[in-house]
Amino acid sequence: MDEVLEYVTKAAAVTVGESTLAAQTIAFMQELTEVAGTLEKVALVIALPTSAMERYDESAEKLFGQLKKVVGRVEKIYAPVQDHEINQVIRQRLFSRIDHDGACEVIGDFMEYATRESILPAGTEPSEYRKRFESSYPFLPEVVDVLYHRWGSFPDFQRTRGVLRLLALITYSLKDKSVPYISMADFDLNDSEIRRELVKFAGPEYDSIIAADITDMDSGSKKIDLSLGGAYKGLKLGTRAVTTVFLYSFSGAAEKGATMGEIKRNATTTENPASVVAEAVEQLKRRLFYLQHQTGKYYFDTVHNLNRTLLIRMENIGDTEIVESERELLKNSISGVAMKVFVWSEKNTDIPDTTDLKLIILQERDDEFMKDTMNMRGSTPRVNRNTLFFLTPLESERTGFYNLLKRGIAYRLISDDKTLNLSNEQNKEIKAELKKIEGGLNEALRRYYRLLAIPGRDGFKEQDLGIPTYGEAKKIDELVYEKLRTASEVLERIVPLVIKERYLKDAKFVLTEQLYQSSARTPGEVRIVRREVWEDGISEGVAQGLFGLGELEGEEPVCRFFGKSTSVALSGSEVILRGDLCTTPGEVTDDRGSGYLTGTDKTDEGETCIGDGGIVLPIDPELTVSGNESVRKKIHLKFTLPKGKVSDIMGVMNLLQSKFDRLEIELLAEDGEISESDYDNKIEEAFRQLEIKLNKKSSGRY
């Protein structure tokens, strides 16, 4: 007897005397069960529903209770489908046949892949999982488990029929696709029938959630599909991962959510590493609005997560807040040690006309303001024009910098808002994100403010500070100073030989005050970090006998100091003058300058050595033994340096120099070009400043 409850419910509306047909039917059922219980070879089979959905209303619930009581005296309850039989029922109902040979091959491939990637369920032996897969094929075992046990625990979900209906829809949606097996990730939530069937039990509010986070073209999962790189773009791993999480998110009981292992097992494909799925999930956590993560499980909820809260806060951040935050970040990124720094000055009168080196940071590039500031201070012509440097943002970095800045402001607002009642997990997440953003902001700021304008003879020269090294802790003005110093745009020391060659080559004498003033006033001239640089350089040159120090008497220079130390005034009629104007008969002038070693000799191989008592000791290129450890007396390396790795090798150079007294370097630069003026002014000049004598083999001029 099938559909007895449905019949009795309808019969309740039929009056029979002072009773109803429903009451008469229940009385009949009692008599029938009693008689059937006394007869041999007679079985009475009655089908009653287990789902409340089929009980219609409150009156039907009462009738259902009466029927259960009537038949309960003699009943033996049988479930039509046992848990272990569900796989066979699914196969029998959905597929006309199963290719067992093909199934074995697919399962074997998956087991090999899953074992290699360590994605089998924890505590499950490979042989056990293989048996489960063989039973559930072409469905991954988790597909049937989740639908039958989790979704089947909903009061209004018919376990066997509901699972069959869903899997029939899934199988039909994949009929034109070639997939080796069917996992949770293969449920197409774009399919209206599949989606409607799921939303019917999950709740209508999930219709918009599915669209926002999973199926819409601008949803977070679609963006992740594209962000994982070209090698994984066609696999749609973002969508596959989030679809898996969605199906694991619902249950009529307390259990919900998917572990990372469950997501990997369902969302991955055997053509790619399962670790890419983990990367997709990490990105999904930052992009989706309704994806939750607690106690190691991922699930969907109708309450939006921090991403949604963050987006709302970011949308409501005004321009004033952004500007103030940027200004504060800039000020905290300045040391003010090497240079005087001026942030976002709006008037050229804010920039003093002194000989100090000055860095002017502009909010955006303004050529007119830069030119005007170079030439004037208010209505007065600027004198010390060679002391100004301008730092401006790189426009292509603006969007990324401001987005990160807004995220930082938004997270601080969320952290300070006590009305949000955030969970401990969310508070930890906010702290972690704020720490990450604060570190990232300093790097983003240096990537953004990086275009340096340097005064030159023919206008400004522009240099890009470049992308900062990861973990670089230097302040912005320190990075600028380092760039200027490395490019010989500012000098911490002037080599006396350079003074002689540059200023006394075609002149008998030069006023020292003129040298000092020229370095600060003439754009493109040698710049010094402080007045003492000129004083020390001149004093050293006089002591070495490279030139003399004296004063003008009338129009003629008079040498006062030569070959001995003296103080330098850099003022009045003080001059430096050629050495031949200072020497007396019988004196010998050493024009070699510094950088030459005395008491040295050369080996046959051209190696400079210093020996005891003037004896030349040859350098043994072979290894010698000191104690129990082998040591090298000489190192000869030849290598090609990859572009952008110059700074990385400096540590090695410093180590070698700390271990060896003599370090000889041969530098060959090819596949590029440099102008003669840059070579003379920047390459040779830098070596002269370092007091390094160049042994040029080939100029390579064209």
**pLDDT at residue 600, rounded to an integer:** 32
Q: Are residues 441 and 330 in the same domain?
A: yes
Q: Which residue has the higher pLDDT, 234 or 460?
A: 460
Q: State the Cα–Cα distance between residues 576 and 591, nearest whole angstrom.
A: 16
Q: What is the largest CA-CA distance in the chain?
A: 153
690 domain-assigned:
no
Residue whose structure tokens are 């953003």? 437
Asked if residue 387 has pLDDT above 50, the reply is yes
694 domain-assigned:
no
341 domain-assigned:
yes
Look up residue 651 and give its amino acid. Answer: G
Final residue of a domain: which of 21, 39, 72? 72
State which residues form the domain around 64. 4-72
Q: Are residues 286 and 333 in the same domain?
A: no
Q: Which residue has the higher pLDDT, 685 or 373?
A: 373
568 domain-assigned:
yes
- Beta strands 358-361; 388-393: pairing state: parallel
Residues 110, 115, 121: CA angle, nearest 5 degrees: 95
Q: State the Cα–Cα distance between residues 554 and 604, nearest whole angstrom.
A: 56
Question: Could you report the per-residue pLDDT of 246-288, keeping only the tens digit for each?
Answer: 999 988 776 789 999 999 999 998 888 899 999 999 999 888 9
**Identity of the highest mean pLDDT range in 69-78, 215-224, 230-239, 249-258:** 215-224
Q: Are residues 254 and 366 in the same domain?
A: no
Sign of the CA dihedral 381, 387, 392, 394? positive
Contact call for residues 417 and 308 (beta carbons, < 8 A): no
Q: How confident is the model at residue 149 (pLDDT cuts 50, 70, 90)?
A: confident
Q: State the Cα–Cα distance between residues 398 and 400, nearest whole angstrom.
A: 6
Mark residue 442 as left, alpha or beta (left: phi above 0; alpha: psi -120 to 50; beta: remaining).
alpha
Contacts of 8 (CB under 8 A, 6+ apart): 22, 25, 26, 63, 67
Contact call for residues 339 and 357 (beta carbons, < 8 A): yes
Contact call for residues 540 and 494 (beta carbons, < 8 A): no
Beta-bridge mates of residue 488: none
Average pLDDT over residues 620-632: 46
Q: Are residues 87 and 121 in the same domain?
A: yes
Asked if residue 585 has pLDDT above 80, the reply is no
- What is residue 200's DSSP assignment? H
Q: State the Cα–Cα distance between residues 26 and 64, nearest whole angstrom.
A: 10
Nearest CA among 183, 146, 174 for reference residue 266: 183
Burial classification of residue 58, based on how many CB atoms lie within 10 Å of its CB (0-12 exposed, 13-18 middle, 19 or more buried): exposed
116 domain-assigned:
yes
Q: Are residues 61 and 131 in the same domain?
A: no
Sign of the CA dihedral 206, 209, 214, 216? positive
Q: Cα dist. 172→142, 146, 182, 246, 571 in Å?
A: 19, 20, 12, 20, 95
Q: State the Cα–Cα distance between residues 178 and 192, nearest whole angstrom.
A: 21
Q: What is the number of helices (H) and of strands (E) in the chain?
A: 26, 19
Q: Which residue has the higher pLDDT, 286 or 207?
A: 207
DSSP string for residues in 79-90: -SS-GGGHHHHH
pTM above 0.75, yes or no: no
Percent of the chain with pLDDT over 90: 47
Contacts of 151 (CB under 8 A, 6+ apart): 157, 162, 163, 166, 201, 250, 251, 252
Asked if residue 407 has pLDDT above 80, the reply is yes
Q: Which residue has the higher pLDDT, 656 or 391?
A: 391
Average pLDDT over residues 21-29: 91
Q: Which residue has the higher pLDDT, 468 or 210?
A: 210
486 domain-assigned:
no
Strand order in the sheet with 574-578: 509-511, 574-578, 547-553, 556-561
Q: State the Cα–Cα distance between residues 152 and 248, nearest whole angstrom.
A: 12
Question: Could you report the per-residue pLDDT of 38-72, keeping only the tens digit for each?
Answer: 889 998 888 877 654 544 667 888 888 888 888 77
639 domain-assigned:
no
Q: Are residues 279 and 318 in the same domain?
A: no
**pLDDT at residue 611, rounded to an integer:** 28
Q: N- to C-terminal Cα distance for the chain?
A: 104
Contacts of 572 (CB under 8 A, 6+ apart): 513, 551
Average pLDDT over residues 210-216: 92
Average pLDDT over residues 440-452: 92
Contact call for residues 29 and 70 (beta carbons, < 8 A): yes
Peptide bond into 138 cis (omega under 30): yes
Q: How confident is the model at residue 609 (pLDDT cuts 50, 70, 90)?
A: very low
**pLDDT at residue 592, rounded to an integer:** 33
Average pLDDT over residues 77-101: 79
Per residue in 551-564, is it b (16+ CB within 10 Å) or e — as a string?
A: beeeeebbbebbbe
Q: State the Cα–Cα distance between residues 248 and 262, nearest whole angstrom.
A: 9
Question: Which secondary-structure segment (H or E) carries 25?
Answer: helix 21-38
**pLDDT at residue 649, rounded to an integer:** 64
Q: How confident is the model at residue 153 (pLDDT cuts 50, 70, 90)?
A: confident
620 domain-assigned:
no
Contact call for residues 289 and 212 (beta carbons, < 8 A): yes
Q: Cα dist. 240→133, 185, 261, 681 in Å?
A: 20, 5, 14, 60
**pLDDT at residue 454, rounded to an integer:** 95
User: Which tokens go with 143?
Assistant: 């597909």
- Beta strands 601-602; 608-609: pairing state: antiparallel
Neighbours of 441 (CB within 10 A): 21
Flag the least confident range among 203-207, 523-527, 671-675: 671-675
Q: State the Cα–Cα distance between residues 638 and 648, nearest whole angstrom.
A: 16
Q: State the Cα–Cα distance between residues 537 and 691, nearest whole angstrom.
A: 12
Q: State the Cα–Cα distance between residues 368 and 205, nearest whole angstrom.
A: 57
- In 188-270, which ranges are continuous DSSP H helix? 192-202, 206-210, 220-227, 237-248, 260-267
Look up residue 203 and give its amino acid. Answer: G
Question: Which secondary-structure segment (H or E) carries 612?
Answer: none
Distance of CA 562 to the CA centre of its chain: 61
Q: Are residues 182 and 41 in the same domain?
A: no
Question: Could you report the per-residue pLDDT of 292-349, keeping only the tens digit for each?
Answer: 888 889 999 988 888 888 888 888 999 999 999 999 999 999 998 889 999 999 999 9
Contact call for residues 378 and 348 (beta carbons, < 8 A): yes
Asked if residue 423 has pLDDT above 90, the reply is no
Final residue of a domain: which of 258, 281, 304? 304
Q: Are residues 375 and 456 in the same domain?
A: yes
Q: Are residues 294 and 383 in the same domain?
A: no
Q: Are residues 328 and 411 in the same domain?
A: yes
Domain tally, the chain: 4
Nearest CA among 188, 314, 294 for reference residue 247: 188
What's the mean pLDDT when you consider all of the chain? 83
Question: Which secondary-structure segment (H or E) carries 380?
Answer: strand 380-381
**pLDDT at residue 111, rounded to an integer:** 95
User: Which tokens go with 521?
Assistant: 């006033």
Final residue of a domain: which of 427, 454, 471? 471
Q: Are residues 239 and 300 in the same domain?
A: yes
Q: Are residues 114 and 179 in the same domain?
A: yes
Average pLDDT over residues 1-22: 88
- Crossing angle (nearest 10°) for helices 531-544 and 512-521: 140
User: Which tokens go with 406?
Assistant: 């807004």
Distance of CA 606 to the CA centre of its chain: 51
Contact call for residues 302 and 209 (beta carbons, < 8 A): yes
Flag the least confident range among 187-201, 533-547, 606-620: 606-620
Q: State the Cα–Cα distance between residues 204 and 632, nearest whole angstrom.
A: 77
